[in-house]
Structure 1
Amino acid sequence: MAVTLRPRNLHRTFYAIARHYSEEKSIYQKHEEGEKPRMVYGKPYPDWRKPWISRDGEWRSKLSVFVEKNPNPDFLYALSQLPNITIEQIKEWWGNLKTIQEIENQKFLPKRVAVLGPNLGALHFFTYRQAAVRLKDKREWIMGDMTTLNLPQQYEDGYFVEAVDCTNFHHGGIRYEGLQNLSNLNFLKWLCLKNNKYIDVWCLDRIAGQNGKSLEYLDIRGCNLTLSCVVALARMQALKYLVITDPGDDVELQAALSLLEADKPNLLIKAEPKEEEVQDSK
């Protein structure tokens, strides 16, 4: 069934979100109020550490309202290479910018949690990034995007996240910064991070610290599993079922997983073959 979206309704959706999450003053408003003296440990901020546009004797134009910090050194280096710049360098620079943008977009927002609470805030974060979420005592999975889901815009009781499926998480998977959005989910028992290429030992260590007391099922197939990752998995106290990709001929990793099973009698580890091997067998 086709769904027709009116621009007016879409505008209201964006306005509601912006109303809650975009209360910071604009650069122009800060400029009109005037610069406040900055103090560091009770002393005035050193002049040599000020942005060049704020130093005494520097020429200021009307466009200086858009300059708050020193120019990015990477950007200045790119400008210096303009006569000899290549297409490969431009692609690499653009890729780095996209990576920085995605990291910023996945960062934990305290204001979102203050308005929605940790569970409803996590529901917003994951569903709007093509992940699926299941609530406590529910069977259906919640998935969609900003234009199809009708999620509460303020805190409501009764939303307790129990399972999160990040298999289809956009832009290659969730990152270390995005995992902080799982914090304070006291009912989270099921988590799938299948084929999330950014999952490493640091990510698993963060999950162990945040959700180790409640998480019972973890799927990390297709992730980069190392010996250090096994140490992080050992910190997950409530873990009962672990799904991984078959380590193959890695004897050290096999031994570490065996020790993990011996240390946790209630833990079942299931090793599945790589997807390429399954396709070749067919």
Structure 2
Amino acid sequence: MIIPRLFLFISFFSLVLCNEKFNSHVLPRPLILETTQLRELDNEVQLQCTSWRFGVEANNLNPWKTIPLECADYVKDYMLGRAYRLDLERVSNEAGIYAKSLELSGDGKDIWVFDVDDTLLSHLPYYADHGYGLEIFDPAEFNRWVDKALAPAIEPSLKLYKEVMGLGFKVFLLTGRSESQRSMTEENLINAGFQNWEKLILRGSEDHAKLATVFKSDKRSEMVKEGYRILGNSGDQWSDLLGSFMSNRSFKLPNPMYFIV
């Protein structure tokens, strides 16, 4: 008797399904609307944060202390994603094309200036623990990280570094780090693959009160007075590039995590 009853049940259930009018809106309509609204809101945040980052890189928003709270995830995704890598490669490639287009004098006076922090050495490991720029900069905490000499190379910059040296440029490293950090800076640079630079210039005691733009302008002035020709300059901050005695051409690396005057 079990089999006939089962057959009757299946037949009855099939008949009910056939006569049931199909409702294409099984999910409540408000849920669909909320999902759409959330997607539109997310798109708007992406657009606003992309616009903010453009303003930062174009030097239209200076000065600023931290990234906007609503852009925290956006900046994190950018720094850890493919876009940041592509932007770095774009800068390096364009700088390399420019460097190859120059005819050097051969007298050892044609130089390329590089900043160090987030130009040659990456501080992403540090900023990953500090909100990717969401926290106000803490010099003491950052210096403890610098003293470890563990910052990895920014690979596209290492490629450019080796390229310009191979072309015959003298390389000057101009950093806002203190002279007291020379040994760990040299150690970190060498371990990351940067070698054979001509000069590593750090802040002396007389430089600590100077804005970065003033300090680096003063040091470039000294280079020019010594007969050097600054043909290229690479930095992640506008203060690495602007001011007086600027390079014939400068190359700005992306950095939406912090701003240095």
User: Could you tell me the TM-score, scaled by structure 2's length?
Assistant: 0.28
Bigger radius of gyration? 2
Q: TM-score, normalised by structure 1?
A: 0.26
Higher RCO, 1 vs 2 (CA within 8 Å, ≥6 residues apart): 2
